Amino acid sequence: MPPAKPDGRTGTVMFGIPPRAWLLPLLLSAMAALWGVPVTGGMISCVHRNPCMNTEALQERANCVARNISSAHDWRILLQMKHFRKITRWPKLHSCVMTRVAGFYERALRRKLGLEPTDPIGHHRGPIVDLIGLMHDLETCSRVDKKKCQVLVANAEKMASHEKPTTKMKPRDWAIRQIQHLNQALEKLSDADTLDKAMDELKFLHNYIKGTGIRKWAKAQ
């Protein structure tokens, strides 16, 4: 056994143990006795966080709704992922675009049920109704700056839509392009092919949610 060392604070003898080394285990044990929390070597966390957006439920129900839909429409509503990723790195752009996406899909899903935008859901049940609720969640989870989003939307409405993308396009340009695609599709929702295209692309929407503009965790109640 190593020789005893005096404790500089109290003058008591601590047998080779640093003065404060025994405090943490005692503190953890006391907390466990008080709160009934299992003691581990790591940090104790009593906070349970729920995901803000249930992307698994979104993917599952979207696949269910679009199971027998195959659109031959060659015009895209959602940008190709390689282009959309340029938006996801910018929180204000990504959140603004995703609120527009959520609004578009709520209208499209209501159309699928034969409802107008202001009609109550009523007796309707099933995956389409679940998806409408998930679109509300998507809006809630967006870190949107309303003023800057309004400016972006206004620019998208007054700017001409270029037919072909160019290498000079910046993230803001891609965000404007995406909003323009959504606006154009919204005007054609009464067309069955456009509605089918929207449902077909809905199967991949969970990939577009991943980015800096969407909160990962729900706000504490």
Q: Chain centroid to CA 208: how far?
A: 9
Place of tokens 């285990």: 25
User: Rounded CA gap, 76 and 109, in Å?
Assistant: 18
The percent of residues above 90 in pLDDT, for the chain, comes to: 57
pLDDT band at 162 (very low <50, low <70, confident <90, very high): low
Dihedral, 114, 115, 120, 121 alpha carbons, nearest 10: 40
pLDDT digits (tens, 9 = 90+) for 203-217: 999 999 999 999 988
pLDDT digits (tens, 9 = 90+) for 135-152: 999 999 999 999 999 999
Selected residue with higher pLDDT from 2 and 195 = 195
Evaluate whether 87 touches 96 at the Cβ level (below 8 Å).
no
Average pLDDT over residues 59-88: 87
- Name which of 90, 108, 128 is nearest 214 in CA terms: 90
pLDDT of amino acid 13 = 45
Does residue 176 register a pLDDT over 50?
A: yes
User: Rounded CA gap, 26 and 211, in Å?
Assistant: 43
pLDDT of amino acid 135 = 95
Q: Is 83 left (phi over 0), alpha (psi -120 to 50) or beta?
A: alpha
Return mean pLDDT, the chain.
81
pLDDT band at 44 (very low <50, low <70, confident <90, very high): very low
Evaluate whether 203 touches 35 at the Cβ level (below 8 Å).
no
User: Rounded CA gap, 96 and 41, in Å?
Assistant: 43
Distances (CA, A) of 186 to 16, 63, 121, 125: 75, 21, 20, 24
Which DSSP state fits 122?
Answer: T
Query: For residue 217, what are its two tokens?
Result: 């965790």
Distinct helix (H) and strand (E) counts, the chain: 9, 2
pLDDT of amino acid 38 = 43
Domain residue spans of the chain: 1-46, 55-209
Model confidence, pTM: 0.75
pLDDT band at 170 (very low <50, low <70, confident <90, very high): very high
pLDDT digits (tens, 9 = 90+) for 55-72: 999 999 999 998 877 766
